[in-house]
Amino acid sequence: MVKIVIQKRIKDFNKVINVDGDKSLSIRSLLIGSQAYGISKIKNLPKSEDILSTINGLRKLGINIFFKKKICYLNGNGLNGFNYKKNIVIDAGNSGTFARLLLGLLVKSPYTVKIIGDKSLSRRDFQRIVDPLEKFGAKFVSKSKKNLPLKIIGSEYLSPINYFEKKGSAQCKSSVILAALNTPGKTIVTAKKSRNHTELFLKNLNFPLKVISKKKYDKIEVVGENQFKSFDYTIPGDMSSSAFFIALTLLSKNSKLKIKNVNVNASRTGFINIINKMGAKVKFINKRNICGEPVADICVKSQKNLKSINCPIKYNSNAIDEFLIIFLLASKAYGVSNFKKLEELNKKESPRLKLASLMLRKIGVTVKSNEDSIKIYGNPRLNINKKILINRYYKDHRVFMTSVIAALTLGGNWTIHDMESHMSSFPSFLSILRKIGYRFI
């Protein structure tokens, strides 16, 4: 367990940075590449732990993956083209996205595959994936089907399903879409709006996937057993990682930041919508399309006068990974902010809604919360001048990074544990802080 000590605020800065490649797109490019026919080429793949778990897992399933001059090459054997021994064990580490999406690809697996994960992933709900995958015809042979470890054995006789995804979970939606790739006939997914990377990825490969967009739901039709070819893909920067540096800039005094080449897919920019409503004035410039996804450079300046928000629930799914940092911004805003219907937040790498209340109270913010909502009494003069210890927060990478941003902007004498946790999603986090000018003790 490694800790970091922060006793000084960050000095004013004016910089241009790049953040690591997007986690959701990286995992999808590897998993979809494993089903393509031929060698795919993936640029800007981050070396984060979740991505390494994905690479190691796919290698165990017989996919040849190698790197040349920082570019990832992946040799897909086509649909259901995994080639592996009986009774293999795949360790998904901390990655819910990898574990849940991979299970979708294993619905036709001829042998049992056991999926395990770290302590945090082993606590998370897998029933949400088991239920639809069983309907396709896959079988799960484990004591509990709710949590990892899970053993899956596929079926040769899969049938397409009609699936209603009501939580706004892109992992559930994507797992079913990937299962449908290996299933004959038409699978229909009616899904509450959530990040749509899997759909855009397959469409960009000319895969026959149809999306009918309604106000709150998308109807997605997938005709299975359609082989697609290998591809070249460039991973853009991660909006969820950018969020920490956007918040750092907003909360610092006379500072300015440009973050280059970030994925600005509307299903990921709930964070920007929310903070702009709070008075942030974040801008996207140089907007373009790369491999079917919108990409832009993000410009942000310090903002002394953030105001509170009554957060519209339509943004919840599109900002789901950014709420800890949004709550921090609300703590420094003028007025009382309200966030509702956030029960999914307690089902992440840690129970984030519960932990947010604990963390904010610790730094002197008044908070009222229950199991799905939080009210934050913002204080623009919030200024910490005591010792703050952050430990026992489930080694959640986003708790660690949010705490560092709080320490660098609010003052106080902080000791933050579980520094290694940021490696799961954003390995360059601390080196970018150094580039911006912070000198760690």
Binding footprint of ligand S3P on the chain (CB under 6 A): 24, 97, 169-171, 174, 195, 320-321, 344
DSSP notation for 144-168: -SSSSSEEEE--SS----EEEE-S-
Q: Which is nearer to ligand S3P, 187 or 267 (CB)?
A: 267
Phi, psi of 186 (to 5 degrees): -105, 120
Rounded least distance, CB 208 to ligand S3P, Å:
22
Query: Based on CB atoms, which residue is closest to ligand S3P, 118 or 344?
Result: 344
Tell the smallest beta-carbon distance from residue 174 to ligand S3P (Å).
6
The residues that bridge with 113 in the sheet, in sequence order, are 88, 152
Instruction: Find out whether 295 and 289 touch, Cβ atoms under 8 Å.
Output: yes
> Shortest distance, CB of residue 416 to ligand S3P, whole angstroms?
21
Say how far apart CA 147 and CA 125 lie, in whole Å. 6
Residue 171 burial (CB count, 10 A): 24
For residue 370, with 0-12 CB atoms within 10 Å meaning exposed, 13-18 middle and 19 or more buried, which class applies?
exposed
Active site residues: 321
Question: Which of 199/297 has CB closer to ligand S3P?
Answer: 199
**84 burial type by CB count under 10 A (0-12 exposed, 13-18 middle, 19+ buried):** middle
Q: How far is the CB of 171 from ligand S3P (least distance, A)?
A: 3
User: Minimum distance between the CB of residue 58 and ligand S3P, rounded to whole angstroms?
Assistant: 16
Q: How many Å is the Cα radius of gyration of the chain?
A: 21
Contact 45, 54 (CB under 8 A): no
Specify the residue, 109 or 317, whose C-beta has the smaller distance to ligand S3P.
Answer: 317
The residue (of 31 and 408) whose beta carbon lies closer to ligand S3P is: 31
Count of C-beta atoms within a 10 Å radius of residue 420: 14
Alpha helices in 252-332 (DSSP H): 270-277, 323-331
β strands within 92-216, DSSP E: 113-116, 139-140, 150-153, 162-165, 186-192, 209-213
| Cα torsion through 394, 397, 398, 404, rounded to 10 | 100
* Residue 440 Cβ vs ligand S3P, minimum distance, rounded to whole Å: 27
- Nearer residue to ligand S3P within complex by CB, 375 or 397: 397
- Which H or E element spans position 99? helix 96-105
